[in-house]
Amino acid sequence: MQITRLRLTGFKSFVDPADLRIEPGLTGVVGPNGCGKSNLLEALRWAMGESSARSLRGAGMEDVIFAGTATRPQRDFAEVAIHAVAGDDEEVEVVRRIERGAGSAYRLNGRDVRARDVALLFADAATGAHSPALVSQNRIGAVIAAKPVERRAMLEEAAGIAGLHVRRKEAETRLRATESNLQRLGELITDQD
């Protein structure tokens, strides 16, 4: 999957709408301290379904909404859109929006979807909010010092099989529920005999 464009509005320091094209190849973000470089990476991870506010340097998820400055009032919502071209040359647009007091909502090509659908879409494409492809400043040391089991998770993520683990876990949960229903049914049949 190739991410081609990132649009943000009201996300952290990006109070005004920003529209960034991401060309093929290596992309570097440069600028003075505090200009919003890490916020850009966090916008990508957030739109991919990041559910931990702490990993976005906030106390709660609403902290991603522009909080206001001495000269500009706070915003009531934040929205980030990722445009990407999937493996089969299909264009996808994923939008995550959060409103104060109303939580997050996701859209995939204009259709309302669940957080899980977005997370699986990126996991299947070998990327995602926790992908080692997105290395923020404080993660560099962690990647170098990763334990073998953590390295394996990175390789699985890169191979695009992370989504299979999620599906397996869900299938196991459904299987356990079905087994318990069957057992209950068996007991009811025995009671009636």
Distance, in Å, from the CA atom of 42 to the CA atom of 12, rounded to the nearest integer, reads 9
Residue 37 contacts ligand ATP per CB under 6 A: yes
Residue 13 contacts ligand ATP per CB under 6 A: yes
Q: Is 155 helix (H, G, I), strand (E, B) or coil?
A: helix
Residue 39 contacts ligand ATP per CB under 6 A: yes
Q: How far is the CB of 21 from ligand ATP (least distance, A)?
A: 19
Residue 117 contacts ligand ATP per CB under 6 A: no
Radius of gyration of the chain from its Cα atoms, rounded to whole angstroms: 20
Residue 99 contacts ligand ATP per CB under 6 A: no
Residue 122 contacts ligand ATP per CB under 6 A: no
Pull the structure tokens for residue 25: 């190849």
Distance, in Å, from the CA atom of 79 to the CA atom of 25, rounded to the nearest integer, reads 26
142, 114, 111: which is closest to 49 by C-alpha? Answer: 114
* Beta-carbon contacts of residue 149 (< 8 Å; ≥ 6 apart): none
Q: How far is the CB of 78 from ligand ATP (least distance, A)?
A: 8
**Binding characters for ligand ATP, 57-96, by CB under 6 A (x = yes):** ------x-xxx-----------------------------
| Polymer length of the chain | 193
Nearer to ligand ATP, 63 or 93 (CB): 63
Q: Which member of 33, 71, 138, 190 binds ligand ATP (CB under 6 A)?
A: 33
User: Strand ranges (DSSP E) for the chain?
Assistant: 2-9, 18-21, 77-85, 91-99, 103-108, 111-113
Nearer to ligand ATP, 34 or 148 (CB): 34
Residue 34 contacts ligand ATP per CB under 6 A: yes
Task: Give the interface segment with ligand ATP, choosing from 27-35, 83-91, 96-104, 184-192 (CB under 6 A).
Answer: 27-35
Residue 36 contacts ligand ATP per CB under 6 A: yes
8 Å CB contact between 93 and 109: yes
131, 3, 19, 2: which is closest to 79 by C-alpha? Answer: 19
Query: Rule CB under 6 A: which residues touch ligand ATP?
Result: 12-13, 31, 33-39, 63, 65-67
